[in-house]
Chains A and B, each alone.
Chain A
Amino acid sequence: MRRLIPMWIAIIAGFAMLFSAFFPVTEFFGETFGEIFSVVAAIAYVLGAGSLAKINLAKISRRDQGWGYSAITLFCFAATLFVGLGKIGVPPNAQFAALPWSGEKNAEGSAFAWIYEYGLVPITSTMFALLAFYVASAAFRAFRAKNLEAILLLSTAFIVLLGRTFAGVVLTGWFPDWASGLRLENLSVYIMQVFNTAGNRAIIIGIALGVTATSLRILLGVDRSWMGSGGNS
């Protein structure tokens, strides 16, 4: 039963979505299952929160290496949840001024907006910015012209790196009009639009065929591995 019910839900929902794409009269089914999916996705956030708490609490109780980070994670999670759900510092909505909780959780001046502005934005931006340093280090140590394929890759990287900045204009902007196609900025666009597109389309078609095959196996109940803890039978 534990496997049969989810399997039939998947089969019915899958076919409903499939038919809704091809037959306008069945659009309603697709819409309904889309709504159900939205509700399930919202519930998944609660499950995610539960999972986060479970894993980090276990780490803290076992005093695993780095348990302090888990404690910080849980503290930040609880504080943000409390501030957001409690609407701390949120001014009431102008339409319902008598109701103190009627304002938006992230209204200007609220504690939630403060956490977002001075906590989340700088932290995530810093994480993203760190990439530049690690990519530079990796470029120095890993980009080696070992063989023909590597040489082609390096040449393409040079063209795109220089062509996507003003360096391309300085280096090759003086090329006459009849050779304008060889300017780095134009070569960069050409590589992206022709070589990249050709390669990517091949990959996309391959993936689409794979997804079709896998979807059919799931829809027909042949593949049940998505339910976990078991084979395909």
Chain B
Amino acid sequence: MSGFIATLERLDRRWIFLAMAIAVAGPIVYIGITGKTLPETSTPAAQAVYDAIEALPKGSRVLISYDFDPGSSGELLPMATSLVHQCAARDLKMVFIALWPLGPQMVTDTIKRVITADFPQMKEGVDYVNLGFQSGNEAVMKVMLTDFKKAFPKSEKGTATGQIPMLEGVTRVKDFPLLVTISAGYPGAKEWIQYVVSSSGGEITMVTGCTGVQTPQLFPYFPAQLRGMLGAIKGAAEYESLVNASLAPGDNSPVPPKYLEAQRRMGPQLGAHLLMVALIILGNIAFFAQRREKAQVKS
């Protein structure tokens, strides 16, 4: 036993790195080969996001803000994919914007993978539009409150916002019945709540998908200012399973892998979390053994 404790105390951190690599790679390989994912039960916050989109009448405009960059795409891109999937399937008109410089590329990627690939009948400028990035953080939000077209004067492709058919009649951000932000930090969901939702006097309905780090910070706003929330990859997986279940064709045909990304990533998350729990327990065993040894030496 003492040999085991001594080994734990001297454990090189590279062994921990190796264990983490195996804990993550094992489920990735298994899910990759078998295609099996773990079942998900939705929590109220994820269900609320799904319900908020389902409640919109066909043809409603949804403002989707990509407030993240490739660094957090592992966590946020699967939920963005599912959000666009649900909106497209419900024939909602999507207006994409970005307050992070690298957001527009992520928007282009989602449009290509979801809208162009699976909803070819949707037309750019009529059913969806990418208005690109605008610098200024909260200031852009403030301008959108009074004049949306001033905040985003042209689309990513250079078309003047006033000439985009789907934006006819849009003057303020309040003209969008639903605001969706996929947020990785600053500026993100918190600023949208503080500067747009609160300023609108509750007229704007907002849902968000955010990173694990942001989730605890945003819970105080749910469900009053924030109608629904997808917290990290877990929230994304819950929401993804809800969307996939509602859009299943009924002929038992397999769901395309791109719509299973979040659920697939719950496998590596399970492995990593179990390893973390095991490491904490082992670390504490070593700690208490060491403490007892010191006490014995003293006495």
Q: Is the CB of B273 within 8 A of A161?
A: yes
Q: Is the CB of A127 within 8 A of B71?
A: yes
**Per-position 1/0 for A187-211, Cβ under 8 A of B:** 0010011001100110010000000
Q: Is the interface of A mostly helix, strand, loop or mixed?
A: helix
Identify which of B17, B70, B270 contacts A133 (C-beta below 8 A).
Answer: B17
**What's the nearest-Cβ distance from chain B to residue A185, in Å?**
7
**What's the nearest-Cβ distance from chain B to residue A37, in Å?**
4
**In the bound complex, how far is the Cα of B275 from the Cα of A165, in angstroms?**
12
**In the bound complex, how far is the Cα of B284 from the Cα of A143, in angstroms?**
8
- Chain A interface residue count, Cβ-Cβ cutoff 8 angstroms: 61
Identify which of B17, B140, B219, B276 contacts A34 (C-beta below 8 A).
Answer: B140
Assess whether A140 is interfacial by the CB under 8 Å rule.
yes
Interface residues on B, range: 35 or more
Residues of A within 8 A of B71 (CB): 124-125, 127-128
Q: Is the CB of A193 within 8 A of B143?
A: no
Identify which of B19, B216, B232 contacts A136 (C-beta below 8 A).
Answer: B19
Tell me the chain B residues, 182-234 only, with Cβ under 8 Å from chain A. Answer: 199, 215-217, 219-220, 222, 231-232, 234
**In the bound complex, how far is the Cα of B199 from the Cα of A144, in angstroms?**
44
Q: Is the interface of B mostly helix, strand, loop or mixed?
A: helix
Residues of A within 8 A of B171 (CB): none
Identify which of A35, A42, A144 contacts B284 (C-beta below 8 A).
Answer: A144
**Per-position 1/0 for A153-193, Cβ under 8 A of B:** 01001100110111101000000000000000100010011
Residues of A within 8 A of B (CB): 17, 20-21, 27-28, 30-31, 33-35, 37-38, 41-42, 44-45, 93, 95, 102, 104, 106, 113, 116, 120-121, 124-125, 127-129, 132-133, 135-137, 139-141, 143-146, 154, 157-158, 161-162, 164-167, 169, 185, 189, 192-193, 196-197, 200-201, 204
6 residue pairs from A and B, CB less than 8 Å apart: A30-B142, A33-B139, A132-B24, A143-B283, A192-B216, A200-B220
